[in-house]
């Protein structure tokens, strides 16, 4: 919101609305303890936000370390993620989250079985760990089911983790997103990733059984991003 406050609504069985209770809300309600919010991302059953001070906060489901505070408990109120002081963007996936903490650095936390923490391993981490690999000119980030991608101003987005599905590749380290695709915005879904280019073209890659990559077929595209049919 323009006033720097955050408002949430909907399902709240793990406290992901951030109001301190488990009540469901059918209209937006203010998260009372956060001010100067600059970014927000809703994950599986948890929510994360960044404030102008560079701090990251998460609340809701926490059994797999999604809240980044070193515990496995749910929290109906925002908790400050450990060791994050310079965040500019944040992405919450199904069971993990990642934050851009510098133009060349990302930290992730939570469930890690598919390499979605980007640190070269597949272990779960209850506090933030640094993503390894070549990172530069980072502008944004988006997390999906078991993976994350980050946009860059000068090159293709970089991704780590799995695109979903038994046949999809999994990488615990950073790799380019489907070839030479410079994106101004990106969305990582459960098993598909789509990027918006500056020329208004949209390219997607990942699983396609439901037609979600928009190529006119139901086949997967896991090797290279392809333009959505227009």
Q: What is the mean pLDDT of residues 55-68?
A: 98
Q: Which 3-state string (H, E, C) describes 55-97?
A: CEEEEECCCCCCCCCCCCCCEEEEEECCCCCCCCEEEECCCEE
Indicate yes or no: pTM above 0.95.
no
pLDDT surpasses 80 at 102:
yes
Position 207 scores a pLDDT of 66
The pair of structure tokens assigned to 120 is 């070269």
In sequence order, the 6+-apart residues with CB closer than 8 A to the CB of 143 are 41, 43, 91, 92, 93, 96, 97, 98, 116, 188
Query: Is residue 76 pLDDT above 80, yes or no?
Result: yes
Q: Cα separation of 78 and 139, whole Å?
A: 25
Virtual CA dihedral for 110, 111, 113, 114, nearest 10 degrees?
-70
Percent of the chain with pLDDT over 90: 56
pLDDT, average across residues 134-158: 86
The pLDDT value recorded for residue 107 is 97
Nearest in space to 58 (alpha carbons), one of 146, 150, 126: 126
Distance (Å, whole) CA 78 – CA 219: 41
Q: Which residue has the tokens 């078991």?
A: 146
pLDDT score, position 210: 67
| Higher local confidence (pLDDT), 207 or 101 | 101
SS3 42: strand
What is the pLDDT confidence band of residue 71, given thresholds at 50, 70 and 90?
A: very high
**188-212 residue pLDDT tens:** 776 777 878 777 888 787 766 666 6
Token pair for 219:
């086949």
Q: Which CATH class is domain 7-204?
A: mainly beta
**Mean pLDDT across 104-114:** 95
What residues contact 149, with CB distance under 8 A and at least 6 apart?
141, 142, 157, 158, 159, 177, 186, 188, 193, 195
- Which of the pair, 35 or 229, is modelled with greater confidence? 35
Name which of 18-27, 77-86, 114-123, 214-223 the model is least confident about: 214-223
Nearest residue to 13 via CA among 59, 79, 68, 48: 59
């Amino acid at each position: 919101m323009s006033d720097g406050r955050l408002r949430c609504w909907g399902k709240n069985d793990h406290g992901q609305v951030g109001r301190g209770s488990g009540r469901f809300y059918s209209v937006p309600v203010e998260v009372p303890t956060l001010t100067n919010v600059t970014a927000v991302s809703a994950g599986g059953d948890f929510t994360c936000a960044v404030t102008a001070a560079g701090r990251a906060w998460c609340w809701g489901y926490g059994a797999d370390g999604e809240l980044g505070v070193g515990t496995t408990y749910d929290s109906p109120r925002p908790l400050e993620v450990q060791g994050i002081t310079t965040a500019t963007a944040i992405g919450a996936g199904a069971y993990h989250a990642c934050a851009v903490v510098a133009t060349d650095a990302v930290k992730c936390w939570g469930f890690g079985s598919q390499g979605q923490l980007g640190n070269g391993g597949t272990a779960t981490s209850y506090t933030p760990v640094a993503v390894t690999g070549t990172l530069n000119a980072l502008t944004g980030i988006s997390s999906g089911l078991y993976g994350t991608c980050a946009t860059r101003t000068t090159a293709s987005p970089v991704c780590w983790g799995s695109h979903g599905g038994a046949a999809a590749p999994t990488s615990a380290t950073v790799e380019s997103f489907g070839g030479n695709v410079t994106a101004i915005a990106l969305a990582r879904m459960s098993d598909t990733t789509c990027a918006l280019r500056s020329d208004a073209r949209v390219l997607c890659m990942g699983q396609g059984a439901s037609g979600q990559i928009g190529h006119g077929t139901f086949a997967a595209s896991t090797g290279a991003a392809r333009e959505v049919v227009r």
